[in-house]
Amino acid sequence: MNKINKLKIDVKDFEALKFEADKAWPIEACALVVGKVHDDVAVVHKVVIVKNADNSQVTFSIRPEDLLQVYLNAEKDGLNVIGVFHSHPAPPQPSIRDLEFMKVNPIVWLIMAKPSGNYGAFQWVEGSIKRVTVDLVKKDKS
């Protein structure tokens, strides 16, 4: 995947992630972020909430069958899985474990701290972790 500088996400989609993180607390919530990449901008078309198979307060994992389903649906719509979201009971920074997964899956990692609601987005590129700007947009406003 390209080096991403900006993640454009609709306010409604972002609210859906926040809602899920609140609902799952203190368990980590997770979701897949589906959309398209244009140069260094990742545009979110939808977010797909998935079950945290770990059911854990400190880790998350997604069942392979859930993952496959989201990838297949995205492909059918001409889209890609461009990011992954999860919530943290800690600052919105990748954990050591997250970093290991980021290295093998260098899409955008969107992390939200609970209960503060602070968030950050990151990508592993060219051997290090880079911050991605989150741009909240209102798709419905014309």
The residues binding Zn ion (CB under 5 A) are 95, 98
Tokens 């880079």 map to which residue? 130
Helix residue ranges, H only, 94-141: 96-104
**Nearest distance from residue 1's CB to Zn ion, in Å?**
19
- Catalytic, out of 15, 20, 28, 100: 28
Q: Are 117 and 18 in contact (CB under 8 A)?
A: yes
**Nearest distance from residue 70's CB to Zn ion, in Å?**
19
**Nearest distance from residue 54's CB to Zn ion, in Å?**
11
Number of helices followed by number of strands (H, E) in the chain:
3, 7
Please give the Cα distance from 62 to 69 (Å, whole number).
11
Q: How many CB atoms lie within 10 A of CB 141?
A: 6
**Nearer Cβ to Zn ion, position 25 or 79?**
25
**Nearer Cβ to Zn ion, position 69 or 95?**
95
Active site residue 28: yes
**Nearer Cβ to Zn ion, position 20 or 98?**
98
Catalytic amino acids?
28
